[in-house]
Structure 1
């Protein structure tokens, strides 16, 4: 046998056309470099925001790989078809009468040449493409990939090795086709159909059929074997089995042709048996999760289901409530990697509503994940998701909060808060006392179990970071990845927290004042904005400013609470509609009428002054939001007066609503543990980055994304740079580098 193999090597080495073919295979390297250069030219001509939508070059092999495989397959085909064309096959059969032996003696030779050449070409194409990309290779894209993938990135080196090794399989396919067809021209046409025509036809099929069919094409198999997040639906074992099946089928066909001529059927039987076994592997059931939920269409693309959970998780066998779930299913053109669970903000927001309104933000993630959310037990939205235990009037109303000046006023505030809470609590005391975020986290765990998922990945927004932090504490082993956006995750309401928040809003107010100085359409343009504001607040604290015709007046504290949301979120820049509205309201209030504030506050809340909604307080207070008694209140108030000249006291508005609250604290503020969790990623804008960073600071390997602009809930609001970094993390589990920043897109001329 070894003598026959050595003779076949001598034949291969002496055939001059083989050398020219190997030289021609370098065309694949040039093709990869050329196409990458075209991508770079288009990429460089786009704005940073537009570049996020580019498709990744990946490892640089996709364009040149089919050419490389064709050349190597042609080498295999010529090793046998050239003998038929020249008549040398007769001489070979005289020397080796056993036809099957002659064919299979060629296999090690062409496989070895295919392996060596395939590896050289794979690394050559990669090196050429990355050289053209240069530093652009690490640029993040919206789908979570980078423009190129360097050897330092996970999965790239194994991918190159598998792609190169597949050159041996390509050469064996060519060998089998050459033995079957016996004609050089016929063999090359057959290989063109296998390696070019069929993959091209798959690309024009409608989705998701096209990508599914394309997953079975030869050139797409190496990526599905080695890449951790391939563009295909086959698992690594199935893809490997199919890659092996290609040459087995081809060689079986070649052996069958020889056997029929030589009447030896054993190779044919062996080949057919091997083909059947390999074909069964991709057909085996996948290890996909088994869900106990029944989904049905409910809102556009969103599918809905329901799940019963205990009202009180301390009594799991007790009374149950039903929560509604929403799902944006995976698009089905890539291998599914699991579930991303979106936790809505509020407290009281509906995650199903988020999926309906902001589903476009999840478009790229859905290539690999189902995106699931829910209407949590504390949802206050007026819609089909809201539990009917409490009336909408109860959830959407509450007392007006004032700053107490002494212990008696503090006690009176507590009595008012308690009375307001009891009006709601009496409708369902058990339910009312279990609206904390730890109970919400346990509901999420019940959803995970019902989904049949071993672990969940999370996107938590605003107050959704509080149940996210609770889940991380309670079930750290169930967290695959956690991205938190625009919240503090349950940071204790102490002096350090208040300093951070006061510093943040003071910086933002300074930006508002600078914008007004530079914007001629600002109602306060040409005036000292800070002085006008401080004079208004001081005057209103002495004598509240009336809302003419409404019987309502604003204190200085009311003005701060009403102004803060607009200061923090000016709206789309550079138009800044909410800053325009705020400036006009300040100008009108300074002239003696608070109607401007009352108008926009009432449009959002239904009240001419900011109300402390009981629906939010039900969760805030059970999550431990507190001023720490009267003495704690006095310390925090004095701190605000010391560090915040424009918004002193504003940070006390929410915690003061919990003074006298009747339900017990069930989820005391605490950060996630420092052990047992994967690295996490936090993102935030000018006004909430530092708060959000607190949540991940103790978890090793975690990082943050700082958005150099205004806004809140960056992922759901569609901030593309942030989404690109978050998707990269959720897909690969690799956090962004420390110090990562995103900037607002430049205004279009």
Structure 2
């Protein structure tokens, strides 16, 4: 839910400027941390308790980055941003041009833009640290026998115990409830009576939980690419898989009919199925991995290309290369998240928020069968299956399993959902909006994950709302 976008932003090449700290009225010691993309960036840290019920667990230091309002005379306040994940870097998003679109210029004028790395992520410390073997391509994530199921459980338990040994007590407190309380600490440290919020993908869950806990501290809030954390996991697994299948089908239709696609004129879904089947047999090489790519890795690489509509031509080329006479799946495997530096945080937070519902091999096999019905082509990879299969046997108890987070007492909030979003189905946006008193829903009928990254219409609506506090008209649609 945004992990690849955030990682891509943070991977940008930057030069950091070391300048003495300057104290602000808020009490935070901001220091210059200029990048090529954002020369005015400033950075600071905020301390929070690792476990608010057990002070002896120590403190975490959250990394913050700020872009001061360009028009201080008309400054509205602070706009906190979370680019998704779980595990995405708000610091990287702010420092490296995540809000550089001309459509968002008014936000830069009127707000101090503040990004932060949630507890355990990126530049915050301690950082969630796991052995790269957390992702083992040899482990079957669709076990149909007791032996295969037990092997999955044993792998996940061992991987989780390794993460716990490397990370310490923060791993048991890396849930969204704890992270939402961290936002309140950040607000107070900023010296703001109220904050505005721009949350993408997982950032919608984090924002909604904060609003449910501290409604009086919210001025405005955009929840774009909405996650409905109240949904039962089995239902959410199938809904998300169907959304991914829909997005893949729309890409295939475009690709077959477009001269801009490397597979123009071909049966793209059949081509995709053939590549995945060959990967399952171990015959699709990846020069990026230095070994054959697995079917899960190929499918995950395709999925992550579906996040941005503008990447469809690149997906066509990468898929064509993976299915060529001398196949190389590099263009797909380099875009999946299994070897990302934040995959450990992604998994650990995910296991708090989306723990495994599976009781045994028979139960898991039934759900896997339903998954194939919901997504007959793309079933090999969807994020909720990655969460729930990866959390089967996870040794850290979940602190924030699916539950309602109703929001009462805030100003009107804006929820944005896409009819063809591959990661967060429109039904989730409708469910989230229904849980927030007075919320407005903006529906996108175009492609890709989140309006901010894919729709000029949505960007204009989000900026207009954040500045004015006035939500779009009921039934608003971006085509």
Task: Find the counterpart in structure 1 of residue 414 from structure 2.
Answer: 681
Give the structure 1 partner of residue 27 of structure 2: 292
User: Which residue of 283, 286, 291 maps to 1:545?
Assistant: 283
1:727 aligns with 2:467: no
Matched, 1:517 2:286: no
Offset from partner CA, 1:469-497 (integer Å, 9 cap, x none) = 22123222222222111241535453432
Q: Which residue of 2 aligns with 1:648?
A: 379
For 1:661, which of 394, 401, 412 is the aligned residue?
394
Match of 1:694 among 400, 425, 431: 431
Q: In the alignment, what sits opposite 2:119?
A: 377
In the alignment, does 2:446 pair up with 1:704? no
Superposed displacement of residue 619, structure 1: 0.7
1:368 aligns with 2:110: yes
In structure 2, do the counterparts of structure 1 residues 733 and 515 end up closer, same or farther at CA, with 3 Å as the change threshold?
same
Tell me how far apart the structure 1 counterparts of residues 60 and 296 of structure 2 sit (CA, whole Å).
40
Instruction: Report if the CA contact (8 A) 1:313-1:442 is conserved.
Output: no
Partner-residue secondary structure (3-state), 1:709:
strand
The answer on whether the counterparts of 1:399 and 1:612 sit within 8 Å (CA) in structure 2 is no
d(CA) in 2 for partners of 1:718 and 1:524? 23
Q: TM-score, normalised by structure 1?
A: 0.54
Deviation, 1:529, is: 2.1
The C-alpha deviation readout for 1:659-716, integer Å capped at 9, x for no partner, is: 111111111223431533332212244213513343222223212223333333433x
Distance 1:395 1:387 in 2: 19
Measured in 2, the distance between the counterparts of 1:603 and 1:538 equals 19
Whether the 8 Å CA contact 1:394–1:615 is kept in 2: the answer is no
1:349 paired with 2:91, answer: no
More strand by share: 2
Give 1:670's aligned residue. 403
- Unaligned stretches of 5+ residues in structure 2: 1-23
Change (3 A) 1:320 1:611: closer
Which of 637, 640, 648 in structure 1 is aligned with 2:368? 637
How far apart are residue 446 of structure 1 and its match? 0.5
* Structure 2 residue aligned with 1:602: 334
8 Å contact 1:566–1:582 — kept in the other structure? no
Contact 2:212 2:407 in 1 (8 A): no
- RMSD of the alignment, in Å? 3.0
Following superposition, the deviation at residue 599 of structure 1 comes to 4.5
2:351 maps to 621
Q: Aligned partners of 1:632 and 1:678: how far apart in 2?
A: 43
1:311 CA displacement: 1.1
CA contact (8 A) 1:399 1:420 kept: no
- DSSP-derived class of the 1:309 partner: strand
Counterpart contact for 1:308–1:320, Cα < 8 Å? yes
Residue 3 of structure 2 aligns with which residue? none
Contact persistence 1:490–1:669 (CA under 8 A): yes
Correspondence 1:581-592 to 2 at 5 A: 581-588=317-324, 591=325
Q: Please state how far the C-alpha of 1:530 moved relative to its aligned partner.
A: 2.4
Judge conservation of contact 1:707–1:741 (CA < 8 Å) in 2. yes
Structure 1: 5+ residue stretches without partners: 1-288, 744-749
Query: Quick one: higher RCO (CA 8 Å, sep 6+), 1 or 2?
Result: 2
TM-score (norm 2): 0.82
Supply the distance in 2 between the matched residues of 1:624 and 1:606 (Cα, whole angstroms).
Answer: 18
2:342 and 2:193 mapped to 1: Cα distance? 39
Secondary structure at the counterpart of residue 683 of structure 1: strand
Map 1:172-251; keep pairs closer than 5 Å.
Answer: none
**Are the structure 2 counterparts of residues 538 and 577 from structure 1 closer, same or farther at C-alpha, using a change threshold of 3 Å?**
closer
**2:74 counterpart SS class:** coil
Provide the rounded CA distance (Å) in 2 between the counterparts of 1:597 and 1:492.
35
- CA spacing shift, 1:441–1:462, aligned 2, 3 Å: same
The reply to whether residue 468 of structure 1 matches residue 207 of structure 2 is yes
How far, CA to CA, are the matches of 1:449 and 1:292 in structure 2? Answer: 10
For residues 243-262 of structure 1, what are the structure 2 equivalents within 5 Å?
none
Residue pair 1:466, 1:488 contacting (<8 A) in 2 also: yes
Query: Partners of 1:644 and 1:603 in 2: how far apart?
Result: 21
State the distance in 1 between where 2:43 and 2:341 align: 33
Q: CA separation in 2, counterparts of 1:493 and 1:585?
A: 39
Is this contact kept in 1: 2:302–2:332, CA < 8 A? no
Contact 1:468 1:489 (C-alpha < 8 Å) held by counterparts: no
Question: 1: CA distance between counterparts of 2:132 and 2:40?
Answer: 29
Cα 1:674–1:433, aligned 2, differ >3 Å: closer, same or farther? closer
> Secondary structure of 1:545's partner?
coil
Q: Deviations over 1:356-408 (max 9, x none)?
A: 2224355312433222221221213xxxx2435555x7479633353111232
Structure 1 or 2: more helix by fraction: 1
